């Protein structure tokens, strides 16, 4: 039809009709385009709408697992170092004030402290916020009273948050609810960022117009006139490129979001989404985390001047970084305060008061989060055996660990100060001296502290877990324990004579003593206390390597060492953590329990997901443990470890073993008091030689730790099957108290020597048991 | 909507704990006097305990500072080891008593996990208190974890050395556990052991 008509019309009035039909065509085209646009736009809108709703209603953020230190228990009668309590409270962000009238505050006096706790929802029970009056006498907590003066038998502080397990983008946040945000923060945000927030419909035309003017003036796109809603859209849904296309997406999405959700819901999401700083590789998102990151306090405890600073940071967390640019930050904060006052939100007096306050930012180093990389490393390794990575870094799990921040601090400083002193003394050869430490509670098997290197904050090679080093004489207790099981007694005389063991390759193994002297006949316990190599080799070869390997495995070594004779003197390489399992079992009287860093894992709601239970297994009889513990105390009282008593009080019983590897490349000490077991390794990462032995290096670190820790005394309990006898050391025969060169030694019933030494006459030859009973 | 935290569920449990504890403060105030002359290293000595009122903690966690003479040139004779005798009563810290009490209540109401948590707390405070291991072993027994139950009870006997009453209870529990798995010979042995105290 068109074809037919066309020639007609063209013949009739070409000049007059042509423009009209052209216009019509254009209009028609435009109509089509706009129809298409409408359809496409509609589809686009529906798509955007879906996006907006899905993300807002789904799981909004990947929440890193939170890892907590052990909560500090408080109870009457407790030995509690006041400095340690203060440190704990500071770590929790408590404010030291004159009147502790709100949670998170403490009044500190010389012999008492009033602590207003915040309370915490523990997996086993809720610890309510309480006002506690703590009364001290010296370093003992004598009583705890609540606000009505009633005695409180037991209370727990909140656990310190020590870290998290972050997703790849390294976003970290602590979610808060709107009602947790201080009123002033909300007002400040609205006054500074988006005054019309509660009136506009997601976008502000006024704002956009203002931004346009700026952009036109500048000749490029620099300002977006964003509402809070738009800012949320920008960060939450879109990439951070400043393109017009993104801007065009942002506008409809902001309107849609505003249409679907209440202003408060959007504001709450904003509070948790906004980027507020950078902690190393970790991006600090949301006001909940920012409050902890800058002030080490929960958001609801912040004061006006702090709140104003956080609100001001939104504009440029890096430009106004209060740690790097305190002046700029203060200027920004004061501007926020000024606006608040001008808008009538706060009084002039409040503004002036707040302006006078310093920024009050905590030192980044004082934050506990990220302060314990070595321990967190251990926690993560244990968690990864059970949970996939995406669960760990997105489900908001809560991980309760055994880390004791006080012990950890003591360990780190014991290592650092000793290493510095050794470097001062020995100079260049130990310039790169390194170390690793593992500290446990012997009875619970909990890992209290872990140090991975001399710079404990450095997240690098974790020597406590990964340094595989020859354990040297640390192996000897296993050898002597195996010997005791094979029928030796503490009084048996060992031959400390040159020994030569032929090896399969035709060579011979000829161990030397450290002092290159053979000591002849030596009582069993003393050969261990003095760490003689030749007598140990003799003993080990006579009982057989299999018994020693079996003993090491029973004590806690999970792999099977190769049966080389050099095993007897500790040629085997182990990490400090691995050898710690052995000493942990010895310290726990022969009851092996897993060394636990994690107590419990719960989901974000506090529902228990996994528990790491105290599972014990008796692997050595109580009697044999009693004997080896006796010998290990001889190490510290009179053997290679006796220098501990240069610094420790004589009444404090400790036991342990020094270790020095071949050619003096490793300096070890493993030992325990009543409630602390610690393994220390010192050495060079390149395996170079050291100018000192186990007692000259690692033992000093260990001693320093115990001086700081003031542990309970170790008390070996005498099992029923043990009897003590006076023994003449030179012959190993029964003797009597009045004789020279004698000592009381424990024996398993029926294994004491039968014969008497010359000195002893019949009357004194009685068993001590009988003797004492008779006189009671 | 937000998973943000900290509910304050209030005082339900802790009031119970408190009530129990206040009562038990008095009970718990028994302690130890330690100290005789001379260096006496390794053996826990319970002969001199009891009688004198002191804050309970000093005993239950085992702090005993003894005067001792140690010098560099010390002779071997100074290392003398006293022979301990059985003790009749064991002072407990009020905190531990409270935790044991809640563990017991949690056990009776079937909340085994909570009971274990209470015992773990008690163990951290007083790791040498055999009562804790007794309760713990009993929970594992009720849960049918026989071998763990027995091991915990054995750990208890290690901590109860010298305490005849406790030892008898523990060995009777071990006998129960062994009967539970059908080890009648082992059960009989444990029973005999129990009655030897």
Domains of chain B: 13-78 (no CATH), 94-195 (1.25.40.10)
Do the chains contact at B65 and A150, CB–CB below 8 Å?
no
Residue A180's closest chain B neighbor by CA? B4
Do the chains contact at B127 and A634, CB–CB below 8 Å?
no
Nearest to B67 among A618, A633, A651 (CB): A651
Residue that is written with structure tokens 């709140």 in the block: A307
- A749 to chain B, any CB pair closer than 8 A? The answer is no
SS3 B14: helix
pLDDT computed for residue A18 by the predictor: 61
pLDDT computed for residue A457 by the predictor: 78
Do the chains contact at B2 and A268, CB–CB below 8 Å?
yes
Residue from A146, A614, A122, A73 nearest B13 by CA: A122
CA-to-CA distance for A545 and A52, rounded, in angstroms?
A: 69
Confidence class of residue B46 from pLDDT cuts 50, 70 and 90?
Answer: very low
* CATH of region A166-366: 1.10.3810.10
A287 burial level (CB within 10 Å; 0-12, 13-18, 19+): buried
Do the chains contact at B83 and A126, CB–CB below 8 Å?
no
Domain ranges within chain A, ordered by starting residue: 71-158, 166-366, 393-469+574-619+643-717, 472-571, 722-775
Do the chains contact at B55 and A741, CB–CB below 8 Å?
no
pLDDT computed for residue B4 by the predictor: 40
CB A412 within 8 A of CB A705: no
pLDDT computed for residue A167 by the predictor: 78
CA-to-CA distance for A164 and A61, rounded, in angstroms?
A: 15
Tell me the nearest-neighbour CA distance from A685 into chain B, angstroms.
Answer: 35
- A124 to chain B, any CB pair closer than 8 A? The answer is yes
CB A188 within 8 A of CB A308: yes
**At A133, which helix (H) or strand (E)?**
strand A131-137
CB B118 within 8 A of CB B103: yes
Nearest to B25 among A123, A153, A634 (CB): A153
CA-to-CA distance for A535 and B30, rounded, in angstroms?
A: 48
Residues of B with CB below 8 A from A709's CB? none
Write the CA distances from A678 to A449, A531, A702, integer angstroms: 9, 19, 7
pLDDT computed for residue A729 by the predictor: 92
Indicate whether this complex's ipTM tops 0.85.
no
- A125 to chain B, any CB pair closer than 8 A? The answer is yes
Per the prediction, chain B carries an average pLDDT of 69
Max Cα–Cα distance, chain A, nearest Å? 153
Q: How many CB atoms within 10 Å of residue A461?
A: 15
pLDDT computed for residue A214 by the predictor: 72
Do the chains contact at B10 and A177, CB–CB below 8 Å?
no
Size of interface A-B (CB pairs under 8 A): 233
Residue B117's closest chain A neighbor by CA? A124
Residues 657-676 of A with CB under 8 A from B: 674-675
First to last CA, chain A: 134
- A634 to chain B, any CB pair closer than 8 A? The answer is yes
Residues of B with CB below 8 A from A176's CB? 2, 4
- B26 to chain A, any CB pair closer than 8 A? The answer is no
Residue B147's closest chain A neighbor by CA? A617
Q: Does CATH place domain A71-158 in 1.20.1250.20?
A: no
CB A146 within 8 A of CB A74: no
Residues of B with CB below 8 A from A746's CB? 81
Nearest to A126 among B9, B95, B155 (CB): B9
Nearest to A444 among B25, B123, B159 (CB): B123
Q: Do strands A140-145 and A131-137 pair parallel, antiparallel, or not at all (unpaired)? A: antiparallel
User: B14-43 pLDDT, tens per residue?
Assistant: 444 444 444 444 343 433 333 333 344 444
CB A119 within 8 A of CB A127: yes
Tell me the nearest-neighbour CA distance from A443 into chain B, angstroms.
Answer: 6
Note whether A393-469+574-619+643-717 and A472-571 share their fold: yes
Tell me the nearest-neighbour CA distance from B111 into chain A, angstroms.
Answer: 10
Do the chains contact at B6 and A121, CB–CB below 8 Å?
yes
For A212-250, letters b (16+ CB in 10 Å) and e give eeeeeeeeeeebbbbbbbbbbbbbbbbeeeeeeebbebb
User: A76-115 pLDDT, tens per residue?
Assistant: 999 998 999 999 999 898 999 999 888 999 999 989 999 9
Per the prediction, chain A carries an average pLDDT of 89
Rounded to 10°, the helix B130-142/B112-125 angle is 160
CB A423 within 8 A of CB A430: yes
* CATH of region A393-469+574-619+643-717: 3.40.710.10
Residue that is written with structure tokens 């209440």 in the block: A262
pLDDT computed for residue A772 by the predictor: 52
* CATH of region A472-571: 3.40.710.10
Residue from B182, B192, B26, B22 nearest B98 by CA: B22
DSSP state of A695: T
CA-to-CA distance for A494 and A526, rounded, in angstroms?
A: 9
> Is residue A155 among the annotated active site residues?
no
Do the chains contact at A177 and B44, CB–CB below 8 Å?
no
**In chain A, which residues have pLDDT < 50?**
1-14, 762-765, 771, 774-776
**At A372, which helix (H) or strand (E)?**
none
Residues of B with CB below 8 A from A618's CB? 151, 154-155, 158
Q: Looking at the predicted structure, is the pLDDT value of residue B6 above 50?
A: no
Beta-bridged to residue A470, according to DSSP, are A573
Greater model confidence, B51 or A744: A744
CB A315 within 8 A of CB A189: no
A762 burial level (CB within 10 Å; 0-12, 13-18, 19+): exposed
CA-to-CA distance for A164 and A319, rounded, in angstroms?
A: 26
Structure-block tokens of residue A568: 């007897």
- A715 to chain B, any CB pair closer than 8 A? The answer is yes
Residues 375-434 of A with CB under 8 A from B: 396
Nearest to B58 among A77, A151, A268 (CB): A77
Nearest to B64 among A142, A615, A713 (CB): A713
CB A360 within 8 A of CB A323: no
- Catalytic residue, candidates A204, A226, A411, A473: A473
CA-to-CA distance for A33 and A415, rounded, in angstroms?
A: 76
For A325, phi and psi rounded to 5 degrees?
-130, 70
Strands (E) in A633-762, as ranges, are 655-660, 666-672, 677-683, 722-728, 733-734, 742-748
SS3 A773: helix
| Dihedral class, residue B57 (left if φ above 0, else alpha if ψ from -120 to 50, else beta) | alpha
Write the CA distances from A181 to A286, A301, A326, integer angstroms: 11, 9, 24
- B173 to chain A, any CB pair closer than 8 A? The answer is no
**At A362, which helix (H) or strand (E)?**
none
- B79 to chain A, any CB pair closer than 8 A? The answer is yes
Tell me the nearest-neighbour CA distance from A65 into chain B, angstroms.
Answer: 13
User: B119-178 pLDDT, tens per residue?
Assistant: 999 999 999 999 999 999 999 999 999 999 999 999 999 999 889 999 999 999 999 999
> Is residue A262 among the annotated active site residues?
no
Write the CA distances from A615 to A545, A612, B112, integer angstroms: 29, 9, 15
For B54-92, letters b (16+ CB in 10 Å) and e give ebbbbbbbbbbebebebeeebeeebbbbbbbeebeebbb
């Amino acid at each position: 039809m068109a074809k037919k008509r066309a020639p007609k019309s063209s013949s009739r009035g070409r000049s007059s009709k042509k423009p009209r039909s052209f216009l019509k065509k254009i209009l028609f085209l435009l109509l089509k385009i706009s129809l298409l646009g409408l359809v496409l736009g509609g589809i686009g809108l529906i798509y955007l709408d879906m996006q907006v709703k899905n993300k807002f209603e789904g799981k909004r953020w990947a929440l890193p697992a939170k890892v907590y230190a052990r909560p500090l228990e408080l109870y009457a009668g407790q030995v509690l170092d006041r400095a340690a309590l203060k440190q704990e409270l500071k770590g929790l962000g408590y404010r030291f004030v004159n009147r502790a009238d709100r949670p998170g505050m403490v009044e500190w006096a010389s012999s008492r402290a009033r602590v207003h706790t915040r309370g915490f929802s523990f997996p086993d029970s809720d610890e309510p916020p309480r006002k506690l009056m703590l009364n001290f006498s010296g370093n003992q907590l004598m009583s705890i009273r609540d606000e009505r003066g009633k005695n409180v038998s037991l209370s727990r502080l909140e656990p310190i948050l020590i870290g998290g397990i972050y997703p790849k983008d390294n976003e970290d946040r602590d979610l808060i609810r709107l009602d947790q945000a201080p009123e002033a923060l909300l007002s400040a945000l609205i006054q500074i960022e988006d005054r019309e927030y509660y009136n506009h419909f997601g976008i502000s035309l006024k704002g956009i117009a203002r931004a346009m003017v700026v952009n036109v003036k500048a000749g490029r796109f620099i300002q977006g006139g964003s509402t809070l809603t738009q800012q949320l859209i920008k960060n939450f849904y879109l990439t951070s490129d400043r393109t017009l296309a993104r801007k065009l997406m942002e506008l409809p999405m902001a309107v849609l979001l505003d249409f679907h959700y209440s202003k408060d819901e959007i504001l709450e999401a904003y509070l948790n989404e906004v980027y507020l700083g950078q902690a190393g590789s970790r991006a600090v998102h949301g006001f909940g985390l920012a409050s902890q990151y800058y002030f080490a306090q929960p958001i609801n405890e912040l004061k006006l001047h702090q709140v104003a600073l956080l609100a001001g940071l939104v504009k440029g967390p890096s430009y106004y970084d209060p740690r790097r640019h305190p002046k700029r930050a203060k200027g920004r904060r004061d501007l926020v305060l000024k606006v608040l006052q001008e808008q009538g939100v706060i009084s002039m007096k409040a503004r002036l008061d707040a302006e006078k306050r310093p920024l009050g930012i905590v030192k980044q180093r004082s934050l506990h989060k990220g302060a314990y990389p070595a321990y967190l490393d251990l926690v993560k390794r244990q968690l990864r055996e059970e949970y996939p990575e995406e669960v760990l870094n997105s489900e908001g799990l809560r991980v309760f660990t055994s880390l004791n921040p006080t012990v950890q601090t003591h360990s780190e400083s014991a290592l650092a100060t000793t290493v510095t002193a050794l470097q001062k003394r020995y100079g260049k050869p130990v310039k790169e001296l390194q170390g690793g430490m593992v500290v446990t509670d012997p009875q619970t098997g909990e890992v209290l502290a872990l140090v991975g290197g001399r710079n404990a904050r450095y997240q690098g090679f974790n020597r406590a877990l990964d340094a595989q080093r020859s354990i040297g004489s640390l192996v000897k207790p296993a050898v002597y324990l195996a010997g005791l099981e094979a029928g030796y007694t503490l009084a048996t005389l060992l031959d400390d004579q040159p020994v030569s063991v032929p090896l399969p390759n035709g060579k011979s193994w000829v161990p030397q003593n450290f002092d290159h002297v053979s000591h002849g006949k030596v009582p069993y316990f003393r050969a261990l206390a003095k760490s003689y190599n030749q007598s140990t080799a003799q003993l080990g070869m006579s009982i057989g390597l299999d018994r020693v390997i079996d003993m090491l495995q029973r004590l806690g070594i999970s792999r099977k060492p190769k049966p080389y004779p050099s095993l007897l003197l500790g040629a085997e390489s182990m990490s400090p953590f691995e050898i710690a399992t052995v000493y942990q079992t010895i310290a726990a009287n022969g009851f092996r329990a897993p060394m636990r860093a994690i107590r419990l894992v719960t989901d974000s709601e506090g529902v228990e997901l996994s528990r790491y239970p105290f599972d014990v297994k008796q692997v050595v009889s109580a009697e044999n443990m009693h004997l080896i513990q006796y010998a290990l105390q001889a190490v510290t009282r009179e053997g290679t470890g006796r220098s501990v008593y240069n610094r420790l009080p004589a009444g404090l019983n400790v036991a342990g073993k020094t270790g020095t590897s071949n050619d003096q490349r490793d300096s070890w000490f493993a030992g325990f008091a009543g409630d602390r077991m610690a393994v220390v390794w010192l050495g060079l990462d390149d395996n170079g030689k050291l100018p000192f032995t186990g007692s000259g290096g690692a033992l000093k670190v260990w001693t320093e730790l115990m001086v700081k820790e003031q542990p309970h005394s170790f008390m070996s309990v005498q099992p029923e099957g043990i009897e003590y006898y006076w023994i003449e050391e030179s012959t190993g025969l029964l003797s009597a108290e009045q004789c020279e060169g004698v000592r009381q030694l424990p024996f398993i019933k029926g294994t004491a020597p039968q014969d008497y030494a010359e000195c002893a006459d019949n009357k004194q030859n009685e068993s001590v048991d009988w003797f004492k009973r008779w006189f009671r | 909507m937000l998973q943000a935290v900290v509910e304050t569920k209030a005082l339900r449990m802790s009031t119970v704990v408190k009530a129990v504890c206040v009562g038990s403060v008095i009970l718990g105030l028994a302690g130890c006097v330690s100290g005789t002359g001379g260096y006496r290293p390794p053996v826990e000595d319970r002969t001199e305990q009891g009688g004198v009122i002191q804050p309970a903690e000093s005993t239950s966690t085992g702090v005993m500072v003894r005067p001792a003479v140690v010098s560099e040139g010390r002779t071997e004779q100074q290392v003398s080891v006293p022979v301990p005798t059985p003790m009749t009563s064991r002072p407990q810290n009020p905190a531990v008593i409270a935790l044991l009490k809640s563990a017991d209540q949690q056990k009776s109401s079937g909340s085994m996990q909570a009971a274990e948590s209470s015992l773990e707390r008690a163990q951290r405070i007083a790791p040498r208190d055999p009562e804790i291991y007794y309760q713990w072993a009993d929970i594992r027994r009720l849960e049918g974890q026989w071998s763990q139950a027995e091991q915990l009870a054995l750990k208890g006997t290690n901590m109860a050395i010298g305490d005849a009453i406790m030892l008898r209870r523990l060995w009777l529990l071990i006998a129960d556990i062994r009967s539970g798995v059908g080890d009648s010979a082992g059960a009989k042995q444990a029973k005999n052991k129990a009655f030897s105290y």
